């Protein structure tokens, strides 16, 4: 691997972020979300979900680094 995990993870999300946004827009404009409560719930799931997936990559990286340090000692 020639790049750091952070660089690769950010590049991945630079490409998947717009795809995620298009999918969210397609659901938003499909007519499936009929009430303001539906819109609020959708946003309350999609935005934190995207953020959680992004941050989970760093959690996995940190756990892997700790595991590798423990095994190398």
- Kindly report, residue by residue over 16-44, the tens digit of the pLDDT: 999 999 999 999 999 999 999 999 999 99
Residue 4, domain member (yes or no): no
pLDDT at 13 over 60: yes
Sign of CA dihedral 59, 8, 49, 44: positive
Residue 49, domain member (yes or no): yes
C-alpha span between 59 and 39 (Å, rounded): 30
- The pLDDT score that the predictor gives to residue 30 is 96
Question: What does the block give as tokens for 49?
Answer: 């979900």
Instruction: Name the more confident of 70 and 26.
Output: 26
Residue 1, domain member (yes or no): no
Residue 51, domain member (yes or no): yes
Domain count, the chain: 1
Domain boundaries, position 55: 44-68
Helix (H) or strand (E) holding 34: none
At residue 72 the predicted structure's pLDDT band, cuts being 50, 70 and 90, is low
How far is C-alpha 38 from the geometric centre of its chain's CA atoms?
22
């Amino acid at each position: 691997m020639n790049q750091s995990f952070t660089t690769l993870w950010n590049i991945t999300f630079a490409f998947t972020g717009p795809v995620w946004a298009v999918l969210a827009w397609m659901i938003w404009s499909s007519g499936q979300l009929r009430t303001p409560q539906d819109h609020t719930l959708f946003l309350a799931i999609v935005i934190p979900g995207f953020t959680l997936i992004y941050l989970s990559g760093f959690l996995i990286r940190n756990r892997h680094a700790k595991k590798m340090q423990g095994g190398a000692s």
